[in-house]
Each structure stands twice: as structure tokens, then as C-alpha cells.
């Protein structure tokens, strides 16, 4: 699972959606792997405005990456190739292969196995 | 588990797990309306492909980012390979996505696998929930839904108006070297009659922007209904 994916998922439990603590889900025991991908600066530049920056900061921190700047790169900063390369590496090339994603509201744990996260709920949570 | 859930587990989910590889090898070209819908998106748009199957619709546009999901882990794993997108395992009735967040969502040939009218409407409502709500100043996100049509008398199946809508459709997995070992899997389908998809979308709180018929399927593009301010 790419790191960027964590920015666009939350708890599958309906009641958690309205709770601010359900986003982002929290990584535990994450095993990372780098998978090289073509660097497309235009893609990163277009996607950044749609990223929940606060959420990404939490995720990056949990995965042990150096702190991201407090505010999202905008305008001129998006012209800086190094900034875009760093984000490309974090968002698209960093894969969580094994681990868990835990909801901060209900505590449910979603398992990531061989690079794929499973959001199916057990019947008592449906 | 409710009866409907159990039924779908047995007659849809388990079948796709079994036929994933073979199914995927026969699904490689997006349908024209789907292709056009995806190509018209603004670069940088973020969207969902609910019930992505092998991910054939992830090949169309590499300038948007799609979080694809499927109930079958075997299919979601095949979909994973299509960059720059992403794939997870999820249930259409309980999507792991925030409210009103996405620019677009598509659900191609999926809602016809839900076995009651309530569950089909609930599935469409769940997808509508994830896309941006429009306002007076800004258009909302859109949802593209496809479902198999009852009216397809020119197809090899030959069904038409008046026929049974809830049916089992065989999937034959041939073994070319040992024909006697070919296996048949039956999948449940609800065939949509003309106008039914639009009615379901309205019941789910959606507004149909445009709709039509393509390749034996009914399709519609919808947005969440805008609440009229007093």
C-alpha cells in the first residue's frame, strides 16, 4: 500500500466517519519497502493541493520519516524539483507491505498483508 | 450475517475469488463511455473505482489518482499493478472513505451483484456519500454507475423486457488440455430494466445528470442532490 493511499482512507465503520479522530488511521508495526516509480513532477504538483497535509504529517511521522514542513507547499514551492522528488518518494514510492492501520475512534485494526490493506469489517461491526 | 449477505458471499464473492485469474484475462478494454468519462477529468482529480475487478479502468488516465477497491482480494491484487493508482480490499456497503471528499467515483458492473433492492440503493448511496457535495458556486463530484441490462436481445445471452431479472449466470473455466476438467461457476445477477438505475439513484439521494445504454448495460452519471438553502 502506497503512503498516499493512507491520505484517502478512513475507518469503514459508519459511526466513525463523523469523528475527527478516525482520520488518519494510525500505522502500527509497519514494514516498508521502496518501489521505484517514474517521477512525474506534473502529477505530484497536481495532486498536492488535494492532500490533507495535517493527515500526511501524522502518517509520515508514524512511519519514521523526517518531519514534513508545517504548511503544505504551494505556489512557488511547487516549482522546486527537490520538494516534488521528496514527495514523490514518500507518497508513491514508499510501500507499506505489512502492518496494521488502527482507527483512533473505535480502535478497530485493519491488516495490511503483502502490500494490500483489507477494510472488510467483521460481522459485529457491520 | 443477514440472509442477503450470506447469499452474496456464496454466489458472488466466493465465485470471484475462484475465477479471478481467468476473469481478469478476459477483461482488458474499458467501455467507451467509461473511457470518455475518465479522460475528461481534470488532472490531479482524486477518485474511487468501487468494485474495480482487475483494474482495467485504471489504465485510462494516469494524470488522476484513483483508490480502487474490490471485495475480492484476488482481484484487488491484480488491480494493484496499475500505476500510479492504488487498490484496497473493501465492501461497497462500508467504504473506508470520508464523506464528501472525492472529485469522482465510478462503479462499473457491480451494483447488479447485490441481491435486494434495498442493498442496491444502499450501495449507490454509499458511493454518492464519498463525493464532493456541490454548492451554488461549485459543482459537486460525479459518480458513474453501470449495471447489466435486462434489455439485451441482440447479445449472446438474448434476454429481453419481461424476462426474469434475478438470475444465475454461469462462468465456465475451461481447461484447454483436459476439457473434462472444465469447471462452471454460477454468479448471481440482478438485470436492470429500463429506468431502474435512474430510479435507484434518485432513491439513494442522487441527481441523474445524464444516462444511457451501452454494450448491454444501463449507465448513469449522477451527483449528490444539492440541498436547497431556504
| CB-based contact B46 A13, cutoff 8 Å | no
DSSP string across B49-79: EET-TT-GGGGS-TTSEEEEEES-HHHHHHH
Q: What is the pLDDT of residues B31-41, one digit of tens each?
A: 899 999 999 99
Q: Tell me how close the Cα of B79 comes to any Cα of chain A, in angstroms.
A: 11
Q: Tell me how close the Cα of A102 comes to any Cα of chain B, in angstroms.
A: 12
**A102 interfacial to chain B (CB closer than 8 Å):** no
End-to-end CA distance of chain B: 42
Domains of chain B, earliest start first:
3-224 (3.40.50.150)
Q: What is the pLDDT of residues B13-61, one digit of tens each?
A: 999 888 888 888 777 788 899 999 999 999 999 999 999 999 999 999 9
| CB-based contact A17 B98, cutoff 8 Å | yes
Higher pLDDT, residue A125 or A116: A116
DSSP designation for A105:
T
Confidence of residue B228 (pLDDT cuts 50, 70, 90): low
- For residues B106 and B86, what is the distance between their CA atoms, to the nearest angstrom? 15
Of residues B158, B184, B188, the one with CA closest to residue B171: B184
Note whether B120 and B61 are within 8 A (CB): no
Residues 1-60 in A contacting B (C-alpha not used; CB under 8 Å): 1-2, 4-5, 8-14, 17-18, 23, 37-38, 40, 42-43, 45-47, 49-50
| Beta carbons within 10 angstroms of residue A33's beta carbon | 11
**B95 interfacial to chain A (CB closer than 8 Å):** yes
Q: Which CATH architecture has domain A3-125?
A: Single Sheet (2.20)
Average pLDDT of every residue of chain A: 96
Domain boundaries defined on chain A: 3-125
Instruction: Count the alpha carbons within 13 Å of A123 in the hemisphere toward its beta carbon.
Output: 6
Place of cell 477518485: B47
For chains A and B, CB pairs below 8 A equal 95
Q: What is the mean pLDDT of residues B170-195?
A: 88
Burial category of A26 from C-beta neighbours within 10 Å (exposed 0-12, middle 13-18, buried 19 and up): middle
ipTM metric: 0.97
Q: What is the reported pTM?
A: 0.94
| Beta carbons within 10 angstroms of residue B9's beta carbon | 13
Amino acid at each position: 500500500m502506497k503512503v498516499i493511499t493512507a491520505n484517502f482512507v478512513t475507518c469503514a465503520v459508519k459511526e466513525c466517519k463523523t469523528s475527527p479522530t478516525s482520520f488518519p488511521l494510525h500505522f502500527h508495526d509497519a514494514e516498508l519497502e521502496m518501489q521505484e516509480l517514474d517521477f512525474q513532477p506534473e502529477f505530484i504538483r497536481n495532486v498536492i493541493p488535494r492532500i490533507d497535509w495535517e493527515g500526511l504529517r501524522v502518517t509520515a511521522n508514524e512511519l519514521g520519516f523526517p518531519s514534513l514542513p508545517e504548511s503544505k507547499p504551494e505556489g512557488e514551492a511547487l516549482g522546486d524539483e527537490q520538494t516534488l522528488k521528496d514527495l514523490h518518494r514518500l507518497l508513491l514510492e514508499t510501500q507499506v507491505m505489512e502492518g496494521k492501520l488502527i482507527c483512533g475512534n473505535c480502535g478497530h485494526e485493519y491488516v495490511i498483508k503483502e502490500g494490500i490493506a483489507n477494510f472488510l469489517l467483521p460481522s459485529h461491526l457491520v | 450475517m443477514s440472509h442477503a449477505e450470506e447469499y452474496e458471499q456464496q454466489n458472488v464473492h466466493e465465485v470471484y475469488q475462484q475465477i479471478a485469474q481467468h476473469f481478469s484475462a478476459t477483461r482488458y478494454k474499458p467501455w467507451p463511455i467509461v473511457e470518455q468519462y475518465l479522460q475528461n477529468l481534470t488532472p490531479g482529480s482524486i477518485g474511487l473505482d468501487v468494485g474495480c475487478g482487475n483494474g482495467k479502468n485504471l489504465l485510462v488516465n494516469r494524470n488522476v489518482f484513483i483508490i480502487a477497491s474490490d471485495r475480492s482480494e484476488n482481484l484487488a491484487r491484480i488491480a494493484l499493478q496499475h500505476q500510479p493508482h492504488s487498490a484496497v480490499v473493501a465492501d461497497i456497503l462500508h467504504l473506508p472513505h470520508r464523506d464528501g471528499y472525492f472529485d469522482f467515483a465510478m462503479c462499473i458492473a457491480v451494483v447488479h451483484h447485490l441481491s435486494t433492492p434495498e442493498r442496491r440503493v444502499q450501495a449507490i448511496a454509499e458511493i454518492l456519500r464519498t463525493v464532493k457535495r456541490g454548492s451554488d458556486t461549485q459543482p459537486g463530484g460525479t459518480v458513474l454507475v453501470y449495471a447489466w441490462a435486462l434489455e439485451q436481445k441482440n447479445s449472446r445471452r438474448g434476454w429481453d423486457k419481461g424476462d426474469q431479472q434475478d438470475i444465475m449466470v454461469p462462468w465456465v473455466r475451461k481447461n484447454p488440455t483436459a476439457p473434462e476438467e472444465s469447471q462452471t461457476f454460477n454468479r448471481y445477477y440482478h438485470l436492470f430494466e429500463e429506468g431502474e438505475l435512474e430510479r435507484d439513484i434518485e432513491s439513494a439521494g442522487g441527481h441523474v445528470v445524464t444516462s444511457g445504454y451501452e454494450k448491454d448495460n444501463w449507465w448513469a452519471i449522477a451527483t449528490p442532490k444539492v440541498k436547497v438553502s431556504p
